[in-house]
Structure 1
Amino acid sequence: MKATIWHNPECGKSRSTLAILQGRQDIDLTVVEYLKTPPSRSKLAQLYRDAGMRAAEGVRTFKTDAEERGLTTADDETVLDAMMVEPRLIERPLVETEKGVRLCRPPERVEEIL
């Protein structure tokens, strides 16, 4: 099975999710460090859609000004625009497989799509 993780190596949850994926012999894994190589706006919108989430649910609030800027309740277009300018606003890790997409917080949520 193919899997892609949008990963931040500085994040413990992201590292834990990556370890789960790397521990599986049946996973053909692509790791994207999204702060260096952010997803396109259309890809990010597709990830949230496939995860059954609004973009605002995927906003990182810890150590960001997202709440002060109203991003946690903003419409998808506003949130995606902000994420394109500041990829650090993207909560991580997002994992995509042929079975779906999950924001893996907690990391064990990845099991739902494996």
Structure 2
Amino acid sequence: MNTAIYHNPACGTSRNTLALIRHAGVEPRVIEYLRTPPTKEELAELIRQSGLGVREAIRQKEAPYLELGLDDPDLSDEQLLDAMVAAPVLIQRPFVATPLGVRLCRPSERVLDILLPVTRPFAKEDGEVVIDEHGRRTGPGVPGQ
């Protein structure tokens, strides 16, 4: 299975997502996007395939967001993409691409939607159970909840 994660090792959500992928028996290609940012075309395609809009894929809590005036509703997707490529800290994380699709994995258990079924128990770094001892998904990331 060809899987890639656009990863920030300093981010707990990204670390939990990577752990879930590995827990599923998949060793992904790990792209530390702050060191090796995607091209504008790659980023646009990730966002498109994930079903998000460009504004949904930008981190609004980062300092450059306001410093660069990216809250201006008149900015085009092209301008936002340019800003995200120039300052990759603005890219929401983690994006994961698998043969089953692309997702922005916030929360981290969203990655389970694009992996083969995982039934072994799993808990996040903070102890939150994502897959219980019966192999069932739990919590707010469960489809239909």
| TM-score, structure 1 normalization | 0.91
Question: What is residue 56 of structure 1 aligned with on the other side?
Answer: 55
The worse-fitting range, judged by mean Cα deviation, of 53-62 and 42-51 is 53-62
Q: Secondary structure at the match of 1:18?
A: helix
Check the 8 A contact 2:6/2:31 in 1, yes or no.
yes
Check the 8 A contact 1:56/1:71 in 2, yes or no.
no
Listed one character per residue, the Cα deviations across residues 56-79 of structure 1 (whole Å, up to 9, x for unaligned) are 110012233425623474421011
Pairing of 1:34-113 with structure 2 (within 5 A)? 34-67=33-66, 69-71=69-71, 73=73, 74-113=75-114
Q: Distance in 1 between matches of 2:108 and 2:80?
A: 24
Q: Secondary structure at the match of 2:30?
A: strand
Check the 8 A contact 2:49/2:101 in 1, yes or no.
yes
The worse-fitting range, judged by mean Cα deviation, of 47-56 and 58-67 is 58-67
Q: Secondary structure at the match of 1:14?
A: helix
Question: What is residue 18 of structure 1 aligned with on the other side?
Answer: 18
| TM-score, structure 2 normalization | 0.72
**Percent identity of paired positions between Structure 1 and Structure 2:** 46
The worse-fitting range, judged by mean Cα deviation, of 48-57 and 62-71 is 62-71
Q: Secondary structure at the match of 1:96?
A: strand
Larger helix percent: 1
User: Which structure's relative contact order is higher, taking Cα pairs within 8 Å and 6+ residues apart?
Assistant: 1
Q: Secondary structure at the match of 2:63?
A: coil
Deviation at 1:98, TM superposition (A): 1.2
Question: What is residue 6 of structure 2 aligned with on the other side?
Answer: 6
One-letter code of the match for 1:110? V
The alignment of Structure 1 onto Structure 2 pairs a total of residues equal to 113
